A = this chain, B = another copy of it.
């Protein structure tokens, strides 16, 4: 079984050198934040992630969550880990201090979140969903709801869920049928069935706070008739203690490809007269509220892609260093060597490593921008930062998760036949990763958001600014010495051009032929992810070179960053022109067949 150790050196490098930790620390309200504090938090989180959560990852997968008669039993060790997690204050890390949170910047919380997800993705989903529910109540709840729920959710005493999906309403939330009947006393009775509810039922806490999309009796059809309700598992007494059992019950949990230890519940609301809930915010604005939180949730799922890639890489790397097989290429009869000596194993490891580092660089830069978007004193900076975050959220979500499936699959391949044996643990990462491009909006949903709301709607203003930034970095590469930088520049330059051409096609096509533009949406998302990741890697390589020239920092690490960037350029950025070609030329072949010709 694999161990996990947080990649702290790379995390620190990315936070400080790429994502602007100093700038974030200088934001109003962050007076107590410093790089040293960030280091201390990372060290503590690593101890918890590697010491408590990581050892439960595989046992949790094998045992899974189990359902019996409406009750869900989490895997062995889960309850104790959760109690420790909450006690140590990890649930409150980024929470509002008004409700007991520590109010840490998103940049630091992001690095910590990566650790939870790498160590034990199935476990991490519980606090992740709770965080989403906390945000919903924070942003849209009334004072009574906040006082009733937030302190206990921030402290981890209670957990939260998000109830969106119904059997007929997956990507299409307009089809939600769950209904809410007003009782005349300010409460509502909720009736309906929700599926795919992560940690919708469990034995970790005394209460579970469900946020539920449902329709009021007089609601318009479609997306404009959906409201948001808060429905606790146990009604809350005036003194804040859990009271009567509410009419929401877990009727089954799913048998899934991965994240076995995370219970995915079917929840029945109102089988015994109606589940009591209260309206969050205004009627018929539920979907709008969901969209406000969506960025947060999508970013978090993108982080799962990064985190699983890191875990799969560590797993494969350890095996490649230990497994003895064959001799050095061209050395017949020589001594047997560990497989990391074989060229293709190195190629696979470098592919995993470079893509993981590129994901981390981009995701943390987005996290840093998010802090600026919320807290910068200058409104222009806030607006620019927010536009950048909005553009990149679907990329972080779509590209990191799609990449993680491939990285985890390569991780299996590094193990050879042992990779296919479940006890090895490499296959679990692939199984776990496979959900990430699906939930919280499939890659297609992200890609439509990207080309529609984030690019076409503003006629490409933000992406043009990003491309200009990329060109500035390319100029820096041109000025840098050495073969590696020439190679990085070649692929990165071609990658930027590929993005420009694809954007031009999307802007020219979106309004007049949305289907044609949409065929290219996912290839474009992957293209932008690859090139944006390359952009951050190129920045990292330039900074590394500067530090090396100045004799600063860990020379071996900095040299490796340049080599890793070069590998990424030669092998990953090299895919960019082909993707751009598919964006600009791929519609006719995709759309021409009649349905019966398939």
Contacts and interface: CB of A to CB of B under 8 A. Distances in A.
Interface of A: 165, 168, 170-172, 174-175, 195-196, 222, 254-258, 317, 321, 324-326, 329-330, 332-333, 336, 340, 342-347, 349-350, 353, 405-406, 409, 412-413, 416-423, 427, 430-431, 434-435, 437-439, 442-444, 447-448, 483-484, 487, 491, 514-516, 518-519, 521-523, 556-557, 559-560, 563-564, 566-571, 574-579, 581-582, 585-598
A171 B416 contact: yes
B444 A344 contact: yes
Contacts of A567: 586, 589-590
A419 to B, nearest CB: 7
B419 A336 contact: no
The 9 closest A-B pairs by CB, nearest first: A567-B589, A343-B518, A344-B444, A566-B589, A257-B427, A172-B326, A560-B597, A574-B578, A570-B586
A346 B444 CA distance: 11
A256 B422 contact: yes
A89 to B, nearest CB: 32
B170 A416 contact: yes
A586 B572 CA distance: 10
A417 B405 contact: no
A556 B597 contact: yes
Q: Is the interface of A mostly helix, strand, loop or mixed?
A: helix
Contact of A346 (B196, B406, B431, B590): B590
B333 A256 contact: no
A317 B598 CA distance: 8
Contacts of A257: 412, 420-422, 427, 430-431
Nearest to A591: B346
Contacts of A165: 417
A497 to B, nearest CB: 14
B598 A586 contact: no
A343 to B, nearest CB: 4
Given A570-B582, A571-B523, A596-B556, A591 B343 contact: yes
B589 A581 contact: no
A326 B175 CA distance: 8
Contacts of A576: 578
Contact of A345 (B258, B444, B487): B444
Given A222-B333, A438-B416, A578-B578, A344 B409 contact: no
Most buried by B among A165, A340, A438, A593: A593
A598 B340 CA distance: 10
A519 B222 contact: no
Given A171-B416, A329-B514, A413-B438, A344 B447 contact: yes
B325 A171 contact: yes
A412 B434 contact: yes
Contacts of A195: 417
9 contacts: A256-B422, A329-B515, A344-B519, A405-B409, A420-B439, A487-B588, A560-B597, A567-B589, A570-B585
B570 A574 contact: no
Nearest to A324: B168
Contacts of A421: 254-257
